[in-house]
A = this chain, B = another copy of it.
């Protein structure tokens, strides 16, 4: 195996776990401290990532760059990497629409860089069999090799750019879409004076659904700030496929309203969540 220099933009909670798998596989992992938070520095140092200092330096040093960031930042990261003259192999592993993926791919290829479409399903990858990096595009196998040691798993979807984006959009459409829907339902029930009755009905058949729903809605608030953008990407993916949008533009609005809970130290009380949804 050739030992490669691989750059990560940026080692957040998910990104650092991907970087760890690349390190396990024997490659050298770089990151960029410029403009990043102290929390990111701590994550990077905990996995012995090398600080390239600046994006320019990282682009000069690395032959592979992995973009893993909130959906709204994906195109900006790609543009900046190209602006630094990067012409190596670029993996976009973000939760973005098929159309946006294809657009970034064209920009990369027009500039002489290579592009692989990727997406991650599952939480941060610290255990085998729990998190999958889906990969699509002619050079997807080269990227899969970079992650061969695990614990992150890879899954190849063939040569067509967009398929890794599509599976992520479809998967998250249910998980994150239904969390938003349940928040909307509880808020509507609260506004209509039937929340307690609804929770009782949900519990009639002895299921845990009511309790699980409360917990799910409380816990999702911490990530709402970045789920809003992902919901817009899913909405765009549905519409491009000829399927009615609307489910996820509504979900995006739910998450936008919940975005202020981003830095809460503990999950908020359910009443606080519903009041925030209804105050708009």
Q: List residues of A whose CB falls within 8 A of some B CB.
A: 98, 121, 129, 132, 134, 155, 157, 160, 162-163, 166-167, 169-171, 173-174, 177-178, 181-182, 184-185, 187-189, 191-194, 197-198, 201-202, 204, 237-238, 241-247, 249-251, 253-254, 277-278, 280
Contacts and interface: CB of A to CB of B under 8 A. Distances in A.
Contacts of A250: 244-247, 250
Nearest first, the 4 A-B pairs at minimum CB distance are A246-B250, A166-B192, A191-B241, A244-B253
Nearest to A193: B163
Contacts of A184: 173, 238, 243-244, 247
Contacts of A167: 189, 192, 194, 197-198, 201
A243 B277 contact: yes
A280 B242 CA distance: 7
A254 B189 CA distance: 24
Contacts of A277: 243
Given A163-B194, A241-B278, A242-B280, A173 B201 contact: no
Given A166-B194, A170-B185, A247 B238 contact: no
B278 A132 contact: no
Contacts of A247: 181, 184, 246-247, 250-251
15 contacts: A132-B201, A163-B192, A167-B189, A171-B198, A177-B181, A178-B178, A178-B181, A181-B181, A184-B247, A187-B243, A188-B237, A242-B280, A244-B254, A245-B250, A247-B247
